[in-house]
Amino acid sequence: MDVSRIDGTDVRLITPKVFGDDRGFFLETWSAREFSVLGTDVAFVQDNLSRSSRGVLRGLHYQVRHTQGKLVRCTRGSVFDVAVDLRRGSEHFGRWVGRVLSEENKKAMWIPPGFAHGFLTLSDIADFQYKCSDVYHPESERTICWDDPDIAIQWPDAGVDAYLLSDKDRNNASTLRDAEVFE
């Protein structure tokens, strides 16, 4: 497994060792021993799976209590995955990083607590898996506008006229300036 910082932030891109032959492939998706290279002791308590169609944009989500670190990967199709630093004291506060995660590249991202997370589906169908370090807590969930000009995420072309958003992401998202963030 190769672990690298994304653009100097605390978000990590994880490239697994893939063992393949004419039968298919095998890879280790998570190992406590290997994950310890991040310098953090993470206990995952919840796994999630979402399926999305082309042009679905989910996010930018985070929890102000029961903050979640997320180890995410796309196991079918491809997505553009984004993390935004919401830790006010961080030198990267308000800055986003993003990478394409796909079934082809088999990469994963570690998004530590204190970051908002979202993704845009680039393929016809995408299955996206999350390992979370805390439980989902709806009362603590917050959403920041996916198109907030202060964050200025450069979303790639997904080949659709308009992104498909949930009502929550369309109607209940705040701007970074008005968001409840981490001190």
Per-residue pLDDT tens for 122-178? 999 999 999 999 999 999 999 999 999 999 999 999 999 999 999 999 999 999 999
Single-letter residue type at 67 = T
The whole model's pTM is what? 0.93
130 is catalytic: yes
Rounded Cα–Cα distance for residues 40 and 132 (Å) = 14
Q: Omega of the bond prior to 122 within 30 degrees of 0, cis?
A: no
pLDDT tens digit string along 86-115? 999 999 999 999 999 999 999 999 999 999
User: pLDDT at position 29, please?
Assistant: 84
How many domains does the structure of the chain reveal?
1
Query: Would you tell me how many other CB atoms lie within 10 Å of the CB of residue 13?
Result: 19
C-alpha to C-alpha distance for 78 and 128, rounded to whole angstroms:
9
User: 105 is written with which tokens?
Assistant: 């590249």
61 catalytic per annotation: yes
- Whether 12 is covered by a domain: the verdict is no
Looking at residue 41, its pLDDT comes to 75
Q: Is residue 5 part of a domain?
A: no
Average pLDDT over residues 19-46: 82
Chain centroid, CA 101 distance in Å: 10
Is residue 177 one of the residues assigned to a domain? Answer: no
Which pLDDT band, with edges at 50, 70 and 90, does 38 fall under?
Answer: low
> Does some domain include residue 76?
yes
Of 61, 62, 117, 163, the catalytic one is 61
What percent of the chain is modeled with pLDDT above 70?
98
Q: Is the pLDDT of residue 39 over 70?
A: no
Give the active site residue among 62, 117, 130, 163. 130
Which structural domain, as residue segments, surrounds residue 84? 44-171
Q: pLDDT at position 32, please?
A: 80
With tokens 């979303």, the residue in question is 155
For residue 138, the 8-state DSSP code is G
Sort residue 16 into left (φ over 0), alpha (ψ -120 to 50) or beta.
beta
Asked if residue 24 is part of any domain, the answer here is no
60 found inside a domain = yes
Is 112 within a domain? yes
- The CATH number given to whatever domain includes residue 115 is 2.60.120.10
Residue 33 lies in a domain: no
Kind and range of the H or E element at 34? Answer: helix 32-35
